[in-house]
Amino acid sequence: MATFQTNITIDSADVATLKTQGYSLYAFKAVKASGDGSPTVWFKLDKNKLLTNTKIEWQENFSAYNSTSQIAPNTVIETSNTTTTDLGHTVKIDQNGNLLDTTNGIDGAVGFLNNAQQQFTVGISQEVAGVSNVLCAFPILGTGASRVITPITKILLIFSTEEVKTETVITKALSSGAFIDLTGVQSRDVVYSVTNGWSPKDKGAPWIANVSAFQELKPLLIEH
């Protein structure tokens, strides 16, 4: 089971500024899927827990869920049922809306097959900082409809004063942020400054991109 991490270095004076002004750190994680879907807040680090060396660590521990929550901006996805799953598995929804994890799936992805005569919201959760949180939300039709979601190793980090719960649908960036690609590696080191924003610890690294405040997040975090 692979473990990934992003290490954030922040000057002590900047940490004090972030805490005083009420900034918390929000994280989002990208997936690949067809059709329309939305990202959700995957992880939140409260302002009181910020350090000069802050580490976000996550593992390839996945869960699948279904929900009757509607997918709309600023809506918290309340899961109806959850089951542990893994890449290459298919999660079947029975006539009563219950979930059954099976192994006959698509390599590198989590599949859903809805056998209920009811539409649901579905998606995957992934463990981050020891807690499994929803990271995306997709609609699925009833009676034989399917959905395939592939988690990818790209994350978005944003400092914001907005008070948003984890598992909330967010379609526009809360503030400026850093989109970090961990493809082929298990760790990245970044620096944050309240004056200069985000940057890689090794200058000129191509795996980080700046995200503007209010930028649309679907094209960034839901790859097709």
What digits encode the pLDDT tens for the residues 49-63? 999 999 999 999 999
Q: Which domain holds residue 86?
A: 3-223
Q: 140 and 147 in contact (C-beta within 8 Å)?
A: yes
CB 52 within 8 A of CB 10: yes
- 39 has a pLDDT exceeding 80: yes
Is it the case that residue 68 has pLDDT exceeding 80?
yes
Q: Chain centroid to CA 188: how far?
A: 17
Q: Is the pLDDT of residue 141 over 80?
A: yes
Q: What is the pLDDT of residues 91-105, one digit of tens each?
A: 999 999 999 999 989
CA-based torsion, 129, 213, 7, 18: positive or negative: negative
pLDDT at 123 over 90: yes
152, burial (CB in 10 Å: exposed 0-12, middle 13-18, buried 19+):
middle
In the chain, the number of structural domains is: 1
Alpha-carbon dihedral sign for residues 44, 70, 92, 38:
negative
Q: Is the pLDDT of residue 1 over 80?
A: no
Mean pLDDT (whole number) for 155-175: 97
pTM of the model: 0.96
pLDDT of residue 202: 86
Give the angle 58-209-220 at the CA atoms, nearest 5°.
70
User: Average pLDDT of the chain?
Assistant: 96
